Structure 1
């Protein structure tokens, strides 16, 4: 039976992490060799102590380890802090499941991923079907970003989106297993051999785009990525970061989002392509604002977004 290690990176979300662990408890019992490492990214609010106490009080010590870090260095670095020792043990696990703290796994979710990976040895990464608490699916299987997709993302106008439907980063959800470019890092299982081929997550990303970058590196190394909807995971969107929560959008998008986007394009496609992608987004956004102005629709863009977008993509910072 394949061995699995689950990694959860917590930052001041101890309550959510405990709920996630509770949902994992029955899953772990169905697998022959499954353990969880909870990395606390220097929360400084007592999270590490609370998590350690909960593990002790619930009797989870046999399958949960809490790894406290001194500082918060982001999602990639937090996962890598657990991955490094796990990958260098005498007998490293076959698979590593990266799981957000703001998730609750449905029964059978982990086993569905493991069974799929066991049956498809050429697949390096697989992602779960993320969904709302009421079961409504979230778009969780994605295409790589392109100049065309950035234009569509900036515009968000029906006719343009339909014209560029084959370029949408987040296409409509499907109910069957299928290959995809990349999957959300909220629940993604990675074969050990992928890390051997491409290395760990890029710690140059603090938050966002790190899973996109990792899946692209895996693709270039010959590993395929699939979406497995039988693995159902509730994702409380944005609860761990506060940035992508549609119910409570940020007043200003943090700089690390802009830095991550810029790093992804520049690193993987070059400076010229990055500039073209950013210019395409601005062109699309200009069309969106023109249409909204004509139709007297409110501007829902986060504060300072356009100025920050220009500043962090086109001006020396």
Structure 2
């Protein structure tokens, strides 16, 4: 598989090849998506790579696929959960199995990494000790469009994948700073991941990556996008694009991300924008025939707010960067077509 011909990595003179990576695939009824995902990981040029699947109590055909992977890819370790812990909990539990690895690579089952992607990611992390997380260039299945080049976060609390759906073009090779990588394919420094508590399991899924990226920023880490690290991302293979499930979690979690992480005076400055964004999101869901989802998402967000404000106090006490630094990480121009997906 090839996603273009960017600066292919030859024998590296640095020691990044010796750094250990565990690639974690969280599966929930992911079925046949798993085999090509594992195959792409098994072909990575980075040699010190372990593959782990955390299965969230799948049923049906996925069980046979997991057995097939055990036979065909014996280097892949499979953990079977008795309950669905979500994307957040599944990654956290799997990461706990590998406390000594240098890096954690989260990989959605519907993502296919190009041959050198992990090596590009690790090499970038090895040369920047303050980098806590790195994202790839996510491409559409036909390779003609960007699926995302890192998350963007507006002061209103609206988040989206940068350049999602835009025609593919050359991006250069230099890493660039972002607020958060999309965790569909993201490399996390284990020490940073652990220090910040990993993914917030109350989120279950959706926007848990933006939340973690924001917390990393507040703790003094930064996040990068490495253009040459590429992957195909099919998107929403388990939960369905535009499903009630994704709408509920996305619209609930947008409130929690803002209330947990927006620091100091920025919280009060941007709170009116956040309230307007929530009203707009409700209107969008109602227009899509999902008034019940809108009601439940916002009510449940408010019910969970005391716990989130408790987390906020702990997060903000540990903040190591200035308000201005965070302000510079925000994206003020909204990307058309990406609101409330």
1:234 aligns with 2:243: no
Is the 1:131–1:137 Cα contact (8 Å) retained in structure 2? Answer: yes
Query: Are the equivalent residues in 2 in contact too, given 1:77–1:201 (CA < 8 A)?
Result: yes
2-side partners of 1:275 and 1:44: how far apart? Answer: 43
Which of 304, 308, 312 lines up with 2:290 in the alignment?
Answer: 304
Q: 2:138 aligns with which of 130, 139, 147?
A: 130
Q: Cα RMSD between the aligned structures?
A: 2.9
- Does structure 1 conserve the Cα–Cα contact (< 8 Å) formed by 2:239 and 2:246? no
Residue segments in structure 2 that go unaligned for 5+ positions in a row: 1-17, 165-169, 304-341
What SS does the corresponding residue of 1:86 show, helix, strand or coil?
Answer: coil
Select the residue among 107, 115, 120 that pairs with 1:107. 115
Match of residue 35, structure 1, among 45, 50, 59: 50
Helix, strand or coil for the counterpart of 1:266?
helix
Q: Give the whole-Å Cα distance in 2 for the aligned partners of 1:252 and 1:53.
A: 29
Q: In 1, are the aligned partners of 2:249 and 2:297 still within 8 Å (CA)?
A: no
Cα separation, 1, equivalents of 2:199 and 2:280? 31
Q: 1:170 to 1:254 in 2, by over 3 A?
A: closer
Q: Give runs of aligned pairs for residues 87-166 of structure 1, distance below 5 A.
A: 87=99, 92-135=100-143, 136-147=145-156, 150=158
1:218 CA displacement: 0.8
Say which SS state the counterpart of residue 218 (structure 1) adopts: helix
Residue number in structure 1 paired with 2:257 = 264
Describe the SS at the equivalent of 1:78.
helix
CA separation in 1, counterparts of 2:270 and 2:77? Answer: 40
1:5 corresponds to 2:60:
no
| C-alpha contact (below 8 Å) 1:251/1:303 kept by paired residues | no
Deviation track 1:209-264 (CA, whole Å, cap 9, x = no partner) reads: 1111111111111111000111110000112221xx3xxx3367553333322222
Contact 2:86 2:204 in 1 (8 A): yes
Q: Distance in 1 between matches of 2:178 and 2:25?
A: 24
SS of residue matched to 2:93: helix
Q: What's the offset of the Cα at 1:22?
A: 1.2
Could you tell me the TM-score, scaled by structure 1's length?
A: 0.77
Cα distance change of structure 1 residues 112 and 304 upon mapping to structure 2, 3 Å threshold: same
State the shift of 1:85 in Å: 2.0
Q: CA deviation at 1:139?
A: 2.3
Which segments of 5 or more consecutive residues in structure 1 lack a partner in the other structure? Answer: 151-167, 290-298
- What secondary structure, in the 3-state scheme, does the structure 2 residue paired with 1:101 have? coil
